[in-house]
Structure 1
Amino acid sequence: MTRTHWLFGDQLGPAFLAADDHGPSRDAPVVMVESRAVFRRRRFHRAKAHLILSAMRHRASELGDRVTYVRADTYREGLRRAVGGGPVTVHQPTSRAALALVRSLDNVTVLPPRGFLVRQEDFAAWARGRRALRMEAFYRHVRRDHDLLMEGGGPVGGTWNLDHENREPPPRGARTLGTAAPYRPREDSIDDEVRRDLDRWEHDGDVSFVGRDGPRLFPADRREARTALRRFLRHRLSGFGAHEDAMLSGDDTLSHSLLSSSLNLGLLDPVECVEGAEAAWRAGEAPLNSVEGFVRQIAGWREYVWQLYWHFGEDYRKSNVLGHTASLPDWWNDLDADAVSARCLATVLRQVRDTGWTHHIPRLMVLGSYALQRGWDPAAVTDWFHRCFVDGYDWVMLPNVVGMSQFADGGRMTTKPYTSGGAYIDRMSDLCPPCAYRPNRRVGEDACPFTAGYWSFLHRHRGLLEHNARTSRAVHGLGRLKDLDALLRQERGRGEGPP
């Protein structure tokens, strides 16, 4: 009997229908299930819901008569309506919950995952016996194993990591980097249908969204994703490296690729991204620091996060070494950027509200840092990032937020908490000069909430952080603060209102 192959909504590229030793049979019928319950369980960003549904329906349109596309309340119901009890194959889903679901169905055979460079068994072999699973060591392993940016058995240029060349602040006085604009798709009749459906669901009170929707900014099919990749490689990659950690109020995207949503929907394969970047360097079209930085994001960090999601196990979700339990305030959950006076936080919240995206430094050093300093529950912060970002999935956000952003795992992923005072934001952006708060002030009406929050955070966790080699010096600096008592009183009285 022919097995039907099930495509989840983040398995939309050709790799997930490749007929090989670990794929579905050639010309196998396909089923796709659009589950309304997914959107009831969480308050997703409206632009994210739009992108996912648009991408699924575009893929179904491409597959034509080969696919049975079911709109149902749940995955289980939709699969039953499509195939009854007939045999089904599916590539391993990207979340533990979805994997548990497909494994619970007697008629479903789970195939190995697709969309990543490293097999899970290969990562397990690499990790076996290691005291620490650091990204840098794993990244070098991937580079060697996949012959990426290698020459004569070593890294091209003689250096594995050029991050020190990729931390330049934005040019003084510049409102933008002047980089060519990123690819933006054109909406079509499928997008119109998705928007009407989402409007109806909201009107009927069936679901509730946050953020704004439209026009669609990210690719929803393979052709669009390939076009976005080509535009990045030809027109934006060369300027990516030096300023990848910078922030500019007038330039939300700088030289970033904006390919994460396409990779995480399965529309792009990581191999074509990193090999395309390497080809650009070998052709003299992009400098090594830009290319290595981009390759490190995909072959290093993205692969590392995917592997740790499965390697650390389900209990990793409950990590909370710092004991943070505060609830997320309504203004944060509602993406109410207009209620916020702190210019950096208002700017980044506005970007998330309007697009469902911002690049990695605003995520880590503005949004994540603020949540960490306020002591918010890391599980709630993780869920917020999952819901509010177009590229956010459980496997993406769990290690990124629990491990790196909120340091809730106590250092299993990273060697220190990633938080800072306002001086870092001032150095890496143009956001501070017009702000009502001063980055060098800890106490008073014009005290920067990040500067005050940073010292309050260090004080609150000094017992843990003074033994960390990367934070001990800062903790010892608490003893030199003559206004520490006033700062702590100020922070206790701040409450949960917007800064």
Structure 2
Amino acid sequence: MKAIRTLSLILGDQLNRDSAIFDDFDPNQDALWMAEVLEESTHVASHPQRSVLFLSAMRHFADQLQGEDFPLFYNALSTDASANFASFQTALSHFLTQHSVQNIQVVLPGDYRVLQQLKTTCQSAGLKLKVLPDRHFISLPGEFSAWMAKRKSPIMEYWVRHLRQRTGILMADGKPIGGAWNFDAKNRGNFGKKGPGLVISGPVFAPNDLTKSVMELVKTLFPQHAGNLSHFNWPVTAEQAQLALDDFIEHRLPSFGLYQDAMWFDQPFLYHSLISSSLNLKLISPLRVIQAAEQAYHQGRAPIEAVEGFIRQVLGWREYVRCLYWHAMPQWQDWNHFGATNPMPDFYWTGKTNMVCLQQSIGQVLKHGYGHHIQRLMVTGLFALLWETDPKAIHEWYLAMYVDAVEWVELPNVLGMSQYADGGLMASKPYLASGNYIQKMSPYCTKCRYNPAESTSDKACPFTTLYWAFLVKHEDLLRQNHRMALPLKHLQNWDEPKRQALAKRVAQIRVELKSI
């Protein structure tokens, strides 16, 4: 058996041909290894569209590599469950017993759990795993740590300014283009009573035979997983990802800034780009995405507030959460600032609830595996926070149910920003709100049985009731945050009868919502 000088592992979210894994690759001595394993769809019960997206994209990338004559060992899942490997650990261990490997390397995974598995496996085989930097990202290795060393807390706004200054993105003569670092004041619009009007939808990516075969495989292996495959329409190749980006830049970027937070009935996508899954699988590079948006501004095809708002999500937030993830893992996954212990409400897997905002937001997740950032943060995430859901439980739901979920991006957004389980490492205050916020940013309340302006009556919106109950329960803890001073001041005006009425309504809601 010919020895493999270097075995290079390619994971399912590392599908970029310009990866460091290909540097100095010698097809006469080296080999590539990819594996589909059950655990990546079962350690959380992955939405069928999420599983199909990963597996189809992996197989398309493998076809590309084989077309370039790369020596590739590819382990594919089978409909015969007994023939499948449970994890990367078991798949790689088996491979290493069958082949002589001198060196082994991988680009830094997007999941701490996977990195530990690979290290343990290599150690057992007497090999040291070489972890290569992931140059898909704009942040340089060690850059965030050096930046953090000069600060008391990691505030995203200053991190994105740092990256813009270093890279020159949206900068001219050392100053931010447009005269300001951000344009949030112009980016909080809603659609009013008339709604969004005609929004040009993105391209259709009809499943080819390869993707169809993966769909049948997922249906067979994971029949009980929540979500459906009927509306699968995600890019699975670099070419499709580029088409999705081009379409967004042309048709929806100009209005993205103004309406990025807005919601509407049965409109899951609106002005959003739908390229987060492509970015997270590395089918397209963030720098290419940013340059396309910048070019649209310079050519007069999109206003600065839209372009800056979009670029901040890619250059700022995306880079920020990845750096924070590796800075704070593995401790982050166990933090629980508010001591929340309640299980997830069942309707998160069915969408069956009388709250129209959650019907809409969860229903589209089941249908498409997608929701934009405000639906995640201020509807599904906010309710989980107010319900005092165990942070690990809601984290696992997000990781399972969204097609773009990779742990490095999902865990900080959920445990940090959404649930404030880290006590403020990531966000300067908990994202708490009553039903009034949802009423402002969507029409959902107009068709709902609940009233967001009420907190104690039988018609009181659960968001509003639970919001005030949360403030009552955690008043001492919240008082330590100066940004919570205003709502806590309002709470001081509540007399004892009103507090008792609130507690009674909370008890009613917990019974109501569990009985649907």
Query: TM-score if structure 1 supplies the norm length?
Result: 0.94
With over 3 angstroms needed to count, the CA separation of the structure-2 counterparts of 1:430 and 1:493, relative to structure 1, is closer
- Establish whether residue 75 from structure 1 lines up as the match of residue 68 from structure 2: no
Aligned counterparts of 2:204 and 2:145: Cα–Cα separation in 1 = 39
Aligned counterparts of 1:145 and 1:431: Cα–Cα separation in 2 = 43
Aligned counterparts of 1:377 and 1:327: Cα–Cα separation in 2 = 6
Aligned counterparts of 1:373 and 1:407: Cα–Cα separation in 2 = 11
DSSP 3-state at the match of 2:64: helix
**Residue of structure 2 equivalent to 1:143:** 164
Q: Give 1:142 deviation, angstroms.
A: 0.7
Q: Give 1:346 deviation, angstroms.
A: 0.8
Contact 2:133 2:141 in 1 (8 A): no
Q: Residue deviations 1:10-49, cap 9 Å, x none?
A: 00122226644xx755785322111123223221111111
**Residue of structure 1 equivalent to 2:350:** 336
- Establish whether residue 292 from structure 1 lines up as the match of residue 308 from structure 2: yes
Aligned counterparts of 1:451 and 1:108: Cα–Cα separation in 2 = 51
- Establish whether residue 404 from structure 1 lines up as the match of residue 417 from structure 2: yes
- Partner letter of residue 11 of structure 1? Q
**Residue of structure 1 equivalent to 2:443:** 430
**Residue of structure 2 equivalent to 1:161:** 182
Match of 2:494 among 464, 481, 491: 481
- After TM superposition, list the pairs within 5 Å mapping 1:286-325 onto structure 2: 286-325=302-341
Q: Give 1:349 deviation, angstroms.
A: 0.8
Query: TM-score if structure 2 supplies the norm length?
Result: 0.91
Match of 1:418 among 431, 439, 447: 431
Aligned counterparts of 1:18 and 1:31: Cα–Cα separation in 2 = 11
- Partner letter of residue 137 of structure 1? Y
Aligned counterparts of 1:244 and 1:199: Cα–Cα separation in 2 = 34
- Establish whether residue 197 from structure 1 lines up as the match of residue 217 from structure 2: yes
**Residue of structure 1 equivalent to 2:12:** 9
- Partner letter of residue 295 of structure 2? A
- Partner letter of residue 185 of structure 2? H
Contact 2:47 2:226 in 1 (8 A): yes
Q: Residue deviations 1:225-276, cap 9 Å, x none?
A: 1111111112211111001011111321111001110000011111101111
Match of 2:59 among 29, 37, 57: 57
Report % sequence identity: 34
Aligned counterparts of 1:120 and 1:485: Cα–Cα separation in 2 = 54
DSSP 3-state at the match of 2:453: coil
Aligned counterparts of 1:202 and 1:488: Cα–Cα separation in 2 = 41
Aligned counterparts of 1:250 and 1:196: Cα–Cα separation in 2 = 28
Aligned counterparts of 2:107 and 2:151: Cα–Cα separation in 1 = 29
DSSP 3-state at the match of 2:384: helix
Aligned counterparts of 1:403 and 1:196: Cα–Cα separation in 2 = 36
Q: Give 1:493 deviation, angstroms.
A: 3.6
Contact 1:17 1:24 in 2 (8 A): no
Match of 1:170 among 191, 199, 210: 191
- Partner letter of residue 51 of structure 1? L
Contact 1:117 1:303 in 2 (8 A): yes
Contact 1:43 1:209 in 2 (8 A): yes
With over 3 angstroms needed to count, the CA separation of the structure-2 counterparts of 1:316 and 1:357, relative to structure 1, is same
Match of 1:222 among 229, 238, 248: 238
Aligned counterparts of 1:29 and 1:303: Cα–Cα separation in 2 = 31
Aligned counterparts of 1:91 and 1:26: Cα–Cα separation in 2 = 19
- After TM superposition, list the pairs within 5 Å mapping 1:10-159 onto structure 2: 10-16=13-19, 19-20=22-23, 24=25, 28-64=30-66, 65-66=69-70, 67-71=72-76, 72-73=84-85, 74-82=87-95, 84-86=99-101, 87-104=103-120, 105=122, 106=127, 108-159=129-180
Contact 1:102 1:110 in 2 (8 A): no
- Establish whether residue 264 from structure 1 lines up as the match of residue 264 from structure 2: no
Aligned counterparts of 1:281 and 1:25: Cα–Cα separation in 2 = 42
DSSP 3-state at the match of 1:495: helix
DSSP 3-state at the match of 2:229: coil
Q: Give 1:299 deviation, angstroms.
A: 0.4
Contact 1:478 1:484 in 2 (8 A): no
Aligned counterparts of 1:355 and 1:242: Cα–Cα separation in 2 = 24
With over 3 angstroms needed to count, the CA separation of the structure-2 counterparts of 1:384 and 1:6, relative to structure 1, is same
Aligned counterparts of 2:300 and 2:383: Cα–Cα separation in 1 = 41
Q: Give the paired residue count.
A: 489
Q: Residue deviations 1:20-79, cap 9 Å, x none?
A: 4xx755785322111123223221111111111111111111122522211340323433
Greater shift in the superposed pair: 404-413 or 284-293: 404-413
